[in-house]
C-alpha cells in the first residue's frame, strides 16, 4: 500500500480542479465508509490506518477547513473565512457551507479506491443530504463505524494530542515529549481547537448534533460499533476483523 501512502488527496483538500498526485488502485467493491465517534476518540488516526490497509482515501472535512485556513486571506471565500471562525471556537460550521464543500467534491465519492469519511456527516441534516446524494449518484455506503470510549478518556486524549506541522501526523504528548515528529522531524503543535475552552464546546456540539447519527445509521442497518481502547493498531485490527466479518461485506 506504499503507493497509496503518497497520495496527497489534492482533489479533496483543494477542490475538484486539483488532481491527486497518485491515483488510487481501483477495486471491484471499494470500501465506502463513514467514521463516527466523539472528537478525540481517534477517528483521524484510524482513518489513516484504514487507508493504509484498505486503500480507501481518507476524506476529512476538518482537514479541508484547516487547509483553507492556511491559505492567504485573499484566496479564501467569505464562507470559508466564516467557517474558520466557527472552527476556532470549536463550534460546528453551518450545514450549508459544509454540504456545498462536500457536494462539489462528488468526484471523491466516486473514487475507484473508495473513501473513508472522517468528521462528516456531523448532523442529521448532513447525513440526510449525503444519503440522498449517494442514492442519486448510485453509490452506497458499506458501513458506518462508530468508535466508542468513555468521556474521561476522550478528554485526556484530546488535551494531549499534538499534530506535526509538516506531515500532519498525529501523536500524544505522553509518547512524544520532545515535541518533534519521528516521521519527518517537524515540530508538533496543539490544534487551536484542542484547547480546553474549545474542547468543551466541541463535546457539547457532539452530544447535541452528532450523537443522534448513531440511531440514524443503526436504523439503516449500517452501524458497526467498535470499542476504541488499546493501541491504534489494535483498534484498526478490531475494525477490519468486524468489517470483513459482517454479512454485507
Ligand atoms: P475535525 O478535524 O473533524 O475535528 O473538525 C474540526 C472542526 O471543523 C470542527 O470542530 C468544526 O468546527 C469543523 N467541521 C469539520 N467537519 C464538520 C462538519 N461535518 N460539520 C460542521 N463542522 C465541521
Mind listing the pLDDT tens digit for each residue in 116-140? 999 999 999 999 999 999 999 999 9
Q: Is 95:123 a contact under the CB 8 Å cutoff?
A: yes
CA of 32 to the centre of ligand 1 (A): 20
Q: What is the strand order of the sheet 188-189 is part of?
A: 170-172, 161-164, 188-189
Q: Is 52:169 a contact under the CB 8 Å cutoff?
A: no
> Position of cell 479506491?
113
Proportion of the chain above pLDDT 70, given as a percent: 96
Q: Is 169:183 a contact under the CB 8 Å cutoff?
A: yes
Helix (H) or strand (E) holding 116: strand 114-118
pLDDT tens column, 141-192: 999 999 999 888 888 888 899 999 998 888 999 999 999 999 999 999 998 8
pLDDT at 200: 84
Helix (H) or strand (E) holding 31: strand 31-36
CA of 194 to the centre of ligand 1 (A): 12
Q: Is 34 helix (H, G, I), strand (E, B) or coil?
A: strand
pTM reported for the whole predicted model: 0.88
CA of 243 to the centre of ligand 1 (A): 25
pLDDT tens column, 85-113: 999 888 999 999 999 999 999 999 999 99
Out of 38, 65, 95, 191, give the residue to mutate to test ligand 1, the one with the largest number of ligand atoms within 8 Å of its CB. Answer: 65
CA of 193 to the centre of ligand 1 (A): 10
User: Residue 1: pLDDT band by 50, 70, 90 thresholds?
Assistant: very low
CA distances from 12 to 8, 63, 107, 113 (A): 9, 9, 9, 14
Strands 31-36 and 161-164: unpaired
Q: Is 117 helix (H, G, I), strand (E, B) or coil?
A: strand
Select from 63, 132, 74, 57 the least CA-distant residue to 98. Answer: 63
Atom number in ligand 1 closest to CA 43 = 3
Span 58-82, average pLDDT: 85
CB-based pocket (< 6 A), ligand 1: 39, 60-62, 65, 86-87, 90-93, 98, 119-122, 126, 193, 202
User: Residue 249: pLDDT band by 50, 70, 90 thresholds?
Assistant: low
Helices of type H across the chain: 2-5, 10-13, 43-54, 61-69, 78-89, 95-103, 106-109, 124-137, 151-160, 196-205, 212-219, 232-245
Residue 62 has a CB neighbour count (10 Å cut-off) of 18
Eight-class DSSP state of 59: E
Listed range (147-151, 185-189, 218-222, 224-228) with the worst mean pLDDT: 147-151
Atom number in ligand 1 closest to CA 122 = 19
Angle, helices 212-219/124-137, rounded to nearest 10 degrees: 30
pLDDT at 37: 95
Atom number in ligand 1 closest to CA 126 = 19
User: Residue 247: pLDDT band by 50, 70, 90 thresholds?
Assistant: low
β-strand partners of 31: 114
Mean pLDDT highest for which of 39-48, 131-140, 189-198?
131-140
Select from 148, 162, 169, 156 the least CA-distant residue to 196. Answer: 156
Torsion of CA 65, 95, 93, 54, to 10 degrees: -40
Query: Above 70 in pLDDT, residue 2?
Result: no
Amino acid at each position: 500500500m506504499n503507493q497509496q501512502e503518497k497520495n496527497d488527496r489534492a482533489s479533496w483538500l483543494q477542490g475538484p480542479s486539483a488532481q491527486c498526485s497518485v491515483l488510487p488502485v481501483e477495486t471491484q467493491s471499494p470500501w465506502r465508509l463513514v467514521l463516527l465517534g466523539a472528537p478525540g476518540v481517534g477517528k483521524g488516526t484510524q482513518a489513516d490506518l484504514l487507508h493504509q490497509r484498505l486503500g480507501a482515501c481518507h476524506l476529512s472535512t476538518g482537514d479541508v477547513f484547516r487547509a483553507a485556513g492556511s491559505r492567504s486571506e485573499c484566496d479564501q471565500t467569505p464562507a470559508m473565512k466564516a467557517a474558520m471562525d466557527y472552527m476556532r471556537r470549536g463550534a460546528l460550521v453551518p450545514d450549508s457551507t459544509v454540504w456545498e464543500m462536500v457536494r462539489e467534491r462528488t468526484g471523491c465519492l466516486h473514487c475507484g479506491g473508495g473513501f473513508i469519511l472522517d468528521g462528516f456527516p456531523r448532523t442529521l441534516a448532513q447525513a440526510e443530504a449525503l444519503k440522498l446524494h449517494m442514492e442519486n449518484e448510485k453509490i452506497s455506503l458499506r458501513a458506518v463505524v462508530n468508535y466508542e470510549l468513555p468521556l474521561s478518556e476522550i478528554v485526556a486524549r484530546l488535551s494531549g494530542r499534538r499534530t506535526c506541522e509538516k506531515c500532519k501526523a498525529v501523536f500524544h504528548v505522553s509518547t512524544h515529549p520532545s515535541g518533534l515528529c519521528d516521521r519527518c522531524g517537524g515540530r508538533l503543535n496543539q490544534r487551536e481547537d484542542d484547547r480546553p475552552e474549545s474542547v468543551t464546546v466541541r463535546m457539547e456540539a457532539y452530544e447535541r448534533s452528532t450523537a443522534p447519527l448513531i440511531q440514524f445509521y443503526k436504523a439503516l442497518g449500517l452501524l458497526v460499533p467498535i470499542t476504541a481502547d488499546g493501541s491504534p493498531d489494535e483498534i484498526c485490527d478490531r475494525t477490519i476483523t468486524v468489517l470483513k466479518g459482517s454479512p454485507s461485506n
